[in-house]
Amino acid sequence: MLDFSRNHFELFALPMLFGIDAEQLDQAYRNIQTEIHPDKFAHAGEAEQRLSMQWSTRVNEAYQTLRKPFERARYLLQLHGIDAMDAKNTVMPADFLMRQMEWREALLEAREGRDIKALQGLEKDLQAHARQLQDQLASLLDAQRDYIEAGNVLRKVRFMDKLLDEIDATYEAIE
Amino acid sequence: MALLQISEPGLSTAPHQHRLAVGIDLGTTNSLVATVRNGVSVVLNDAAGHGLLPSVVRYHKDGVTSVGFTAQSQAALDPHNTITSVKRFMGRGVKDIPDLSTLPYQFIDAPGMVQLKTVAGVKSPVEVSAEILKVLKARAEASLGGELVGAVITVPAYFDDAQRQATKDAAKVAGLNVLRLLNEPTAAAIAYGLDNASEGIYAVYDLGGGTFDISILKLTKGVFEVLATNGDSALGGDDFDRRVYCWMLEQAGLHTLSDHDKTLLMARARAAKETLSDHAQAQVTAVLGSGEVIDLNLSEQAFNEMTDSLVRKTLAPTRKALRDAGLQAGDVKGVVMVGGSTRIPRIQAAVGEFFGQTPLTNLDPDKVVALGAAIQANVLAGNKAGDDWLLLDVVPLSLGLETMGGLTEKIIPRNATIPTARAQEFTTFKDGQTAMSIHVVQGERELVADCRSLARFELRGIPPMVAGAARIRVTFQVDADGLLSVTAREMGTGIESHIAVKPSYGLTDDEVAGMLRDSYAHAQDDMTARNLAEARVDGQRLVEAAEAALTENGALLLAAEELLAIEKRIADLKLALREGDLSSVKRATEALNKGTVEFAARRMDQSVKKALTGHKLDELEF
Amino acid sequence: MTVTTGVTLSERAATHIKNFLAKRGSGVGLKLGVRTSGCSGMAYKLEFADAADPEDIQFESHGVTVFIDPKSLSYLEGTELDFVREGLNEGFKFNNPNVKSECGCGESFNV
C-alpha cells in the first residue's frame, strides 16, 4: 500500500542526475519530514502512526543516499542497471594503485610520528583529489552517460572515502 | 475544578479538550516535571515550592517508600535502603558499574540488569525509577487538575538501547503514557532555540550528575536536525564528587569506613564542589561515626587539578562529535550548557576555550531539559502550539550483529537519523544448516566482546541447503524513540522471526505488567478499572483522531461508501465508549484501527504531495 | 441590555497576564469571549491578542488591554477575571455575576 515504487529522485521531485542542487534536496527533505514525521502523528491512530514511521524511515533512507556523492552515484548506476560495487569488478589502474600506496605510507608515517600537520596536509590533498573524481563522475554520469566508465571512477571514489575514514580514525588515535 | 490558562489566538480548546501533557527530566541527581501553561513552559513545584525532586528513593521496612528530600536527608542513616543515582544502573549489568564495590548497596547480578536487595525486597532499577516518576506524575496531576494524557521523558543522548528501554519500562510501571523518549541535549536545544529563534550550528554540552552528552545540531527554518552526538554514559558530577571524596580520605588518612561514614563524606564532597562554583575555597567538616572530626580546606586550584582528567574526558567526545558532523569548532554559532555540573567554573572555561566563545548559560542548566521536554510534549499531545517545528534526532551508537570470529558487522551506523531501517543478508556456512543464531550488539568497537550485547535470538526452520545457498535477511528498525526492533526472514521460504530487542537484558512485557500489578498491590479491581480506563483513553483518542482526519480530507480522499464505513465504525466505538465493557471497547477500537488503514495511507501520500507542492512554490519565489 | 461596568481584572490576574505577555515576547493584550459548547452550554475563551479587532470593545484594567467581541460582552458584563491558586493548581477564574449554573469543572456555564 505504501507507494515505494517512486525512486529516491522522484520522491524529492528532483531530476535523475548526479549534479543535483543540494539546497533543493535539503529543502524537499525538510518539507516532507515536516508533513510525515512520527512526531506529527503522536496523537493519531495506530495505522497512521505506523505508516508515518515507515514513510519517515523511507524518506531518511532516500535523503541519506542522495546526500552523499558516493551513494548517490552508486544509486544512479543501479537505476541504470549497473552494480558498480560488484565483487567481480576489482581491477584498478596501476597508476591509481601506486598513488594509493604512497598515500597510505604517508598516513602511516603521520600516525607514527603523531604529526597532526602532516595529517592535515594529507587530508587536504586527498580531499582535492576526491573532488576531481567527483567532477569526473558528474561529467560521465550526466553529460556523457558513460555508465561503465562512471563505475570505474566510482570504485576509485570508494578507495578515497576509505582513506579519508582512516584519516579520521588516525586523528582520534593521535589526539 | 479546572482553572483556565491563556491560549494562543484562535486555539482555545473546547472544555475538557485540552490534553494535559508534561515533560519529565529523569535525572541522575535530580528530577523535574514541566508543562506548557499560558503559552509558557514552566517547571511544576511541589507544595513546599521545590522544583527539583532529588532522585533518591528510600525503602522502609513497613513497605512505605519515601522519595526526594526526605529520602535524601536520611541517606546516611539508612545507606543500604536509600538508593541514589539509580539512573546509573538502568539497563546495566554488574560488570558495567565500575565503582560497584564502593557503593553501599547489595547488588544482585540478574541477567542483563542489576537488581538491588532492600529491606522491602529485591528491586529492579526500573522499579526504583518508577517511584520517582510516580511522585512527579502525582505532582503534575495535582498542579494541572486532571489526568495526564502523556509525558515526554528525557534520556541522555548517549544512552544505548538497553538504557532507553529500561527508562520506557519505568514510565510504564509508573502508569505514564510515554509520548516520546527525547534526548536531553535535544530537549535543551528546543528550550533555547524557541526562545532565541536562532539559525545555525549549535553545540549542546550536557554534563549531568552521571552522564555526559555532546550534541551538534543544525537549526534551519524550524527544523532541529541533530548532526552528531557523542558522550559517555558513565561520566558526570558524581565522578567529581568521588575525586573530592578520595582526596578527603587521603588527607585525613582514613582507610576503612562504615557505610554511614561513606555516605556522609560523599555528601560533604558534593557540598564542597558546589561551594567552589562561586567561592575560591571550601571548608569541609564532618564528624564520623567514631567521633573523629574531619576538618579540611579545599582550594579551587586543588579541585581543578584533581578533576582535570575528568574535564578532558569530556573534550574527546566533543571532538568526535564535531568530526562526525564534518565541522570544526569555529563553525559552531553557540554553545548551550546543560546540567548542574556545568556550573563548575573550570568546565565553563574549558568549553569556552575549546569553542573559542563564551558558552550560553542564560537558562537554568538544571531546568532547561525539562522545559524543552514540556514544549515537545505539548505538541505531541496535539495541543497546537503557535510555532510549528520538527525534530530530527539520531542513533547515538552503531547497531550491528555478531559475525564469524566474534566480530561486529555494523548494520545501522551511529548518527543515522531516526526513524531508520537497514537490512542485510546473511547466509548459512554449513551444509544442511537449519537454524541460525542472531546476536544483536551496540557499540563502535570491532570485537563483539567490547560492544554491548542487546539480544540473542534464533531463526529456526531454515530449509536444509548447501552452505551459502540460504539467504537470510535481517532488518533493523529504529523508531522515533530510538528503540530497536529486529526481524529476520529466510528469503526463499519467507520464514520470519521478529523480536522487539528486549528479553536478553531487560524486562519482558509480563514482568512490566507484574510490577504494575505490584504497585496496585492488593487490588484486582483497581487493575481492571485501570485497564478499562486505559482502553477508553485509547478509544477516545482514536475517535478524535479519526474525526479530525475525516474533517480534514475525508471528502477528498474517500468514496462515499468508504466514508460511510468509517463513520459507522466511529459511531460503534462511541457507543462502546459510552456503554461498553473492556472487551467491546477494545474490539471497536481495533475495528476502527483496521478500518482506517487505507485512509491513513492515502492521507500520508497526500501529505507527501503537499510537501512537494509547497516546495515548488518556494522555488518560484526565487 | 445596558452596557455598564464591562470586565475587570483583579490585580493579581493583571500581574500574571503582563508577565505571560512579556515571556511570550509579543501580543497587545488579552482576548476574552464566550462560545456555545461544553457540558453546561457556554464556554469561556481566554486567549492572547496579537492585534485589535475593530469590532472588539476594549477595556483597560491594571495596565492590561482586554478585548471582547460585543456578543460575548453581554454574557460577561460585570465579570472579574481573577488568578487563583488551589493547592498546587493555579490559573484564571471568571467571577461572572450572570452565571446561573456552572458545570463542576468550571470550564463551562449557563446564563
Nearest to B326 by CA among A136, A68, A122: A68
* Cβ–Cβ contact A61 with B under 8 A: yes
Residue-level pLDDT at C45? 84
8 Å CB contact between B5 and C109? no
Mean pLDDT of B86-107: 86
> Distance, in angstroms, between B543 CA and closest chain A CA?
8
A38:B416 CB<8 A: no
Does the structure show a pLDDT above 90 at A61? yes
8 Å CB contact between B368 and B172? no
Task: Give me the amino acid identity at B553.
Answer: N
Least confident segment among B204-208, B406-410, C67-71, C87-91: C87-91
Residue-level pLDDT at B615? 45
Residue-level pLDDT at B341? 92
Does the structure show a pLDDT above 60 at B499? no
Residue-level pLDDT at A4? 56
Residue-level pLDDT at B506? 53
Of C23, C30, C108, the CB nearest to B15: C108
pLDDT digits (tens, 9 = 90+) for B402-420: 988 888 889 999 999 999 9
> What residues of B are annotated to the active site?
25, 87, 184, 206
Top residue of C90, C96, C109 to mutate, by most chain B CBs within 10 Å, is C90
Does the structure show a pLDDT above 60 at B440? yes
To the nearest whole number, what is the mean pLDDT of chain A? 88
* Cβ–Cβ contact A81 with B under 8 A: no
Q: Rounded to whole angstroms, how far apart are CA atoms B395 and B478?
A: 8
Q: Rounded to whole angstroms, how far apart are CA atoms C109 and C34?
A: 10
Q: Rounded to whole angstroms, how far apart are CA atoms B19 and B562?
A: 30
pLDDT digits (tens, 9 = 90+) for C22-71: 888 788 999 988 877 645 567 788 888 888 888 888 888 888 999 998 88
Top residue of C34, C35, C89, C94 to mutate, by most chain B CBs within 10 Å, is C89
Mean pLDDT of B172-194: 90
Q: Rounded to whole angstroms, how far apart are CA atoms B376 and B385?
A: 10
* Cβ–Cβ contact B45 with C under 8 A: yes
Q: Are strands C101-102 and C108-110 parallel, antiparallel or unpaired?
A: antiparallel
B480:A37 CB<8 A: yes
A175:B319 CB<8 A: yes
To the nearest whole number, what is the mean pLDDT of chain C? 80
Least confident segment among B83-87, B91-95, B351-355: B91-95
Residue-level pLDDT at B616? 42
A119: left (phi over 0), alpha (psi -120 to 50) or beta: alpha
B618:A27 CB<8 A: yes
Residue-level pLDDT at B617? 38
Contacts of C91 in chain B (CB under 8 A): 2-5, 37-38, 145
Of A27, A36, A63, the CB nearest to B608: A36
Q: Which residue of B has its CA nearest to C84?
A: B3
Q: Rounded to whole angstroms, how far apart are CA atoms B212 and B205?
A: 8
Task: Give me the amino acid identity at A41.
Answer: F
Among A residues 22-41, those touching chain B with beta carbons less than 8 Å apart? 24, 26-28, 30-40
8 Å CB contact between B209 and B380? no
B546:A1 CB<8 A: no
B616:A13 CB<8 A: yes
SS3 B13: coil
Q: Which residue of B has its CA nearest to A40?
A: B380
The CA-CA-CA angle for residues B334, B339, B342, to 5°, reads: 70
**What count of CB pairs under 8 Å joins A to B?**
131
Top residue of B612, B617, B620, B621 to mutate, by most chain A CBs within 10 Å, is B612
B15:C103 CB<8 A: yes
Q: Rounded to whole angstroms, how far apart are CA atoms B176 and B138?
A: 11
Contacts of B480 in chain A (CB under 8 A): 37-39, 53, 56
* Cβ–Cβ contact B404 with C under 8 A: no
Structural domains in chain B, sorted by start: 21-195+364-384 (3.30.420.40), 237-305 (3.90.640.10), 399-506 (2.60.34.10), 520-619 (1.20.1270.10)
Residue-level pLDDT at B621? 32
B3:C46 CB<8 A: no
pLDDT digits (tens, 9 = 90+) for B515-535: 666 655 545 566 677 778 778
Contacts of B602 in chain A (CB under 8 A): none
Q: Rounded to whole angstroms, how far apart are CA atoms B570 and B593?
A: 10
List all residues 6 or more positions away from B13 whose beta carbon is below 8 Å from its beta carbon.
B7, B383
Nearest to B137 by CA among B124, B146, B128: B146
Of A2, A31, A57, the CB nearest to B419: A57
Q: Which residue did the predictor score with more confidence, B210 or B457?
A: B210
pLDDT digits (tens, 9 = 90+) for A76-130: 999 988 888 876 666 778 888 888 889 999 998 988 888 888 888 999 999 999 9
> Distance, in angstroms, between A29 CA and closest chain B CA?
9
Mean pLDDT of B453-478: 83
Of B180, B549, B610, the CB nearest to A42: B180
> Distance, in angstroms, between B266 CA and closest chain A CA?
33
> Distance, in angstroms, between B139 CA and closest chain C CA?
8
Please state the separation of Cα B428 from the chain's center in Å: 37
Q: Which residue of B has its CA nearest to C37?
A: B14
pLDDT digits (tens, 9 = 90+) for B301-326: 999 999 999 999 999 999 999 999 98
Residue-level pLDDT at B214? 96
8 Å CB contact between A66 and B425? no
C92:B5 CB<8 A: yes
> Distance, in angstroms, between B296 CA and closest chain C CA?
42
**Taking the complete model, does pTM exceed 0.90, yes or no?**
no
**DSSP assignment letter at B148:** -
Q: How confident is the model at residue C85 (pLDDT cuts 50, 70, 90)?
A: confident
Q: How confident is the model at residue B498 (pLDDT cuts 50, 70, 90)?
A: low
Task: Give me the amino acid identity at A154.
Answer: L
**DSSP assignment letter at A139:** I
B5:C94 CB<8 A: no
Residue-level pLDDT at C2? 41
Q: How confident is the model at residue B16 (pLDDT cuts 50, 70, 90)?
A: low
pLDDT digits (tens, 9 = 90+) for B220-258: 878 899 999 999 988 999 999 999 999 998 888 888 788
Structural domains in chain A, sorted by start: 8-67 (1.10.287.110), 94-174 (1.20.1280.20)
B9:C45 CB<8 A: no
Dihedral of CA atoms A65, A66, A68, A72 in degrees, nearest 10, equals 90
Q: How confident is the model at residue C111 (pLDDT cuts 50, 70, 90)?
A: low
Of A27, A30, A45, the CB nearest to B593: A45
pLDDT digits (tens, 9 = 90+) for B256-306: 788 888 888 988 999 999 999 889 999 988 888 888 888 999 999 999 999
